[in-house]
Structure 1
Amino acid sequence: MQRPPVPSALMSHPAQLAPSTAHRDDLTSSLGNSGPAAAALTVEAATVPLFNQEYQPPQIVQGAVTNLVFTVDNSANAITVGSLGFTANLPAGLTVAGGGARSVIGMNASSSCGGTVTATPGASSASFAGGSIAPGTTCAVSVPLTSTSVGTPGTVSATLTSSVGSVAASAPTTPLVVVVNPDGNVTFVQNSDDDGTFTFASTAASLNTSITTSGGTGSVGPLDVPGGELTPSRKRGLRALATQR
């Protein structure tokens, strides 16, 4: 059966077409009418990712290096959170490590959150900017730190800012403890009338080294010195020895 033609007035204004009379807002059945159906959608705002910090390792000797790892946890969100950033202000006695004799391979500032980490050796603060984190994931920013002060440094303060808000870092589960270094370090300085290579031997194999002088002087160090008594020997006249314990 063919449908009757649609009036030309309605053809020129299709938005004016009335809904079909067969359309209902409720359910009818042999048992009766269900009444109007209703549905509501609630969209909750994304929460700020969790932000915590931990020392790895949580105990070091004076002058050694620990990584302070800031973890961003976006497990509760179904969206990517961007514009991640923070500044970590270090307490007295704690500084950014790097560039010295005790620098440790692999202990460099890093980020799995993208962005840029700024951590200048010797500085009392470090910063991170321009990061992002995918939904349902975690990422971390790591900063190498060092201290020569025995004891437990104060709190590192840092507040994470993001596209969904900000949150202060929680305190580490285990605080950093700096213990007395039973070892020391030594720098050897060779002064000579005749340039050449001068060797130094010790009961500590780590101190077996040599110095090549130029212009009447040369040096090597600082070298880590293990604790205990050492018996040094020298060849070709080691003239000067500077030791720091």
Structure 2
Amino acid sequence: MNATSKIALVTGATRGIGLETVRQLAEAGVHTLLAGRDRQKAVAAALTLQTQGLPVEAIALDVTDADSIAAAVREVEQRHGRLDILVNNAGILVDEFGRKVSEQGIDVWRKTFDTNVFGLIATTQAFLPLLHKSDAGRIVNVSSLLGSMALHSDPASPIYDFKVPAYNVSKSAVNAWTVQLAYELRDSRIKINTIHPGYVKTDMNGGEGEIDAPAGARTSVRLALIDDAGPNGGYFHQDQSLPW
């Protein structure tokens, strides 16, 4: 299946890395569904890309709302009959900076996991039947280097002192879920991988970072477009495998 015949959906795509992932997939010829919790924002973002001649359409999808997920699945099935690429990009960071690991409130943990883990799993489970209808289904889970337990355990690593616990552990859980689902899908036509976009300048981190959103989207796009020889169940930044 060539890129121009593919259907992709990107969650959390009204801004930042998600929006750039939509742009780059569309520039590669993929018909891309720009998903956001707020339909009006999703429509506005999609219209901007459409004016640039890109094959983008908006869809409402709140990954923390089961009814919203179900409605999005029905919409994709009715419009397209299948899904070739799912990029689970939606995520939040709500840890209270300055608080110790043991001091983060349980409400912070629950809110973080509702979006970053349970929302991702629920969305993936709901779209799996449509991905199985694809000749070459691809799932990309946007994680973070901060999800690497190996690096968090290594005093010499660059993230050793960067303990944002609810966010970090949620991304470790995303990595673990990816490995588990990759095993289930190992003999299917679907491949699933998890990625670190890089330290990207986004609203989530107050505009701090080392690279811009277009650069941050490249790993997601690369894994979304891999061929049958591509990896399954890996953890990547660009072409580099990362330690779990």
TM-score class normalised by the smaller sequence: under 0.3
Give TM-score, length-normalised by structure 1: 0.22
Higher helix residue share: 2
Give TM-score, length-normalised by structure 2: 0.22
Bigger Cα Rg: 1
